[in-house]
Amino acid sequence: MQFGIGTRSFKTALAALVILPAILLPSAKALAKFEHQRIRRIVVFPFRVDPTDKDLSKVADETWWTAREKLTESKRFLVASRNFMTAKEVFQPRGELKPADALILGRLLDADALISVFLDDRTLNMRVYETTNGLTLWSGQVHLEPAIPLARQFSDATEKLLYEFLAAIPYQGYVIVDPLINHPTYVEGGNLMFKAEVGLNAQITKGESVQLIRVGAEATNPVFQAAENIEVYAEGAVTSVDRQIITVAVTRRQLGAEIKSGALVRIPDEMQRLQKAFGVQEDVTKNLAVELYKVDDDQPTDEQKKRQPLVTSLAFIGNLALVLLLAF
């Protein structure tokens, strides 16, 4: 018995079936989206400037120390020391980092985020990288005045960039596990509750609105500067404040959403206060989703329901064709 087409033709037809779903379905790259994890441990590399400009080099070194102090003021972040970086042989100025560099340096230094500040002609740049996927978290620059010596502008310009980065972080705390409860959530008075750490300088009061968010991460834009990366999956209100720990009662949440230790906590009023305190003119909150996203219902939309059978069928055909192709 013979098939109506030759073996080579049959393999070609099967290969086409394998390729077809790849054309019709989103690519793996398009589907690849990572969820950002909170940043706690930060490394600030020495600032890169012209080493022949002694005045500027001195100011850059002094500004590096000041930047570290500003990051640790609220106790929200732990910043690597000079001795630690020297021992790891990485205490050197850096400019743009490639994803592979951010991954390697992050693992070597056990850091969640890396900050590099570098001068390119008369433009001061700051880049912040996450170390899980090597993506850029935030990117900013300041064009320095040509008529004023660089050394006189460097410190203020660096502070401006640092404050803009801090104001752009879309969360102000994270869920913690109460050691007495040993779980991120608990029930009290019929309400689902959780505790969150928000730092020493937070000005949060009882009754303020709280949101639990997910921050998506893609390679296309800096994570903290892309509005579509933000998803709110739960809402609550502050019931008590104990120094840097707040207690929150959940008022509503996405169906099936689990509140885990380390979950990102956004306090809209606190974010506005930080923005004002840091002197950020641009409304950074415009880049954030302010409405709850599918909080009460996580069922697929009508359009998704229509497409799901087609997607499933194409995937099945592709897998079956691949098995047959390998068999021949």
| pLDDT reported for residue 281 | 59
Same-domain status, 159 and 178? no
Same-domain status, 183 and 223? yes
Same-domain status, 210 and 132? no
pLDDT higher at 284 or 116: 116
Same-domain status, 325 and 260? no
Phi and psi at residue 214, in whole multiples of 5°?
Answer: -110, 140
Tell me if 277 is assigned to some domain: yes
| pLDDT reported for residue 277 | 85
Same-domain status, 163 and 180? no
Tell me if 20 is assigned to some domain: no
Same-domain status, 149 and 212? no
Q: What is the pLDDT of residues 241-271, one digit of tens each?
A: 998 999 999 999 999 999 999 999 999 999 9
Tell me if 222 is assigned to some domain: yes
| pLDDT reported for residue 229 | 85
Q: Domain holding 129: CATH number? A: 3.40.50.10070
Mean pLDDT of 173-192: 94
Distance CA 147, CA 77 (A): 37
Distance CA 133, CA 151 (A): 35
Among candidate residues 168, 187, 222, the one where a domain is terminated: 168
Tell me if 3 is assigned to some domain: no
Among candidate residues 168, 197, 215, the one where a domain is terminated: 168
From 198, 170, 199, 196, select the one nearest 272 (Cα to Cα).
Answer: 170
Residue-range definition of the domain harbouring residue 227: 173-287
Tell me if 14 is assigned to some domain: no
Mean pLDDT of 34-43: 94
The structural domain count of the chain equals 3
Tell me if 11 is assigned to some domain: no
Q: How many CB atoms lie within 10 A of CB 43?
A: 27
| pLDDT reported for residue 305 | 41
Tell me if 5 is assigned to some domain: no
Q: What is the pLDDT of residues 87-145, one digit of tens each?
A: 999 999 999 999 999 999 999 999 999 999 999 999 999 999 999 999 999 999 999 99
Same-domain status, 258 and 133? no
